[in-house]
């Protein structure tokens, strides 16, 4: 069972977010990927889960200007491209982990 409680959340340089989970696992996600995976209704169809946002429309250099914990279960980012309506549940963030260890368990992205 994966742990979805972050022990610490920090910004690495201006490009990445590092989350250390309570089980000691570390997830590093770059902000461009986070922005492209935005789960808000303007970026993703709420019913089909299909992406509305064109990933190419997001510049690689996009950064988060702030990150706030929402209700103890999610993170909300304000991105430098002006977008900030996405709520990223910790579970989603952990499932976005692309480290070698997690890459062996793909296909768990359906909710």
Instruction: State the residues that interact with Zn ion by CB under 5 A.
Output: 38, 40, 42-43, 86, 97, 99, 101-102
Q: Which is nearer to Zn ion, 71 or 106 (CB)?
A: 106
Q: Judged by CB, which is closer to Zn ion: 11, or 76?
A: 76
Reduced 3-state DSSP string for 59-96: CCCCCEEEEEEECCCEEEEEECCCCCCCEEEHHHHHHC
Nearer to Zn ion, 6 or 86 (CB): 86
Alpha carbon distance 97, 75 (integer Å): 15
CB of 52 to Zn ion, least distance (A): 9
Smallest separation, CB 14 to Zn ion (Å): 20
Q: Which is nearer to Zn ion, 13 or 57 (CB)?
A: 57
> String of b and e for 14-39 (b: at least 16 CB within 10 Å)?
ebbbebebeeebebebbbbbbbbbbb
CB atoms within 10 A of CB 91: 15
């Amino acid at each position: 069972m994966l742990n979805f409680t972050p022990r610490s959340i920090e910004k690495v340089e201006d490009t990445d977010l590092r989350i250390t989970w309570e089980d000691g696992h570390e997830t590093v996600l770059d902000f461009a990927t986070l922005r492209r995976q935005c789960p808000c209704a303007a970026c993703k169809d709420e019913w089909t889960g299909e992406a509305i946002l064109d990933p190419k429309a997001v510049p690689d250099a996009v950064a988060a200007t702030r990150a706030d914990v929402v209700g103890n279960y999610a993170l909300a980012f304000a991105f430098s491209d002006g977008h900030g309506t996405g709520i990223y549940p910790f579970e989603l963030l952990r499932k976005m982990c692309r480290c070698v260890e997690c890459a062996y368990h793909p296909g768990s992205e359906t909710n």
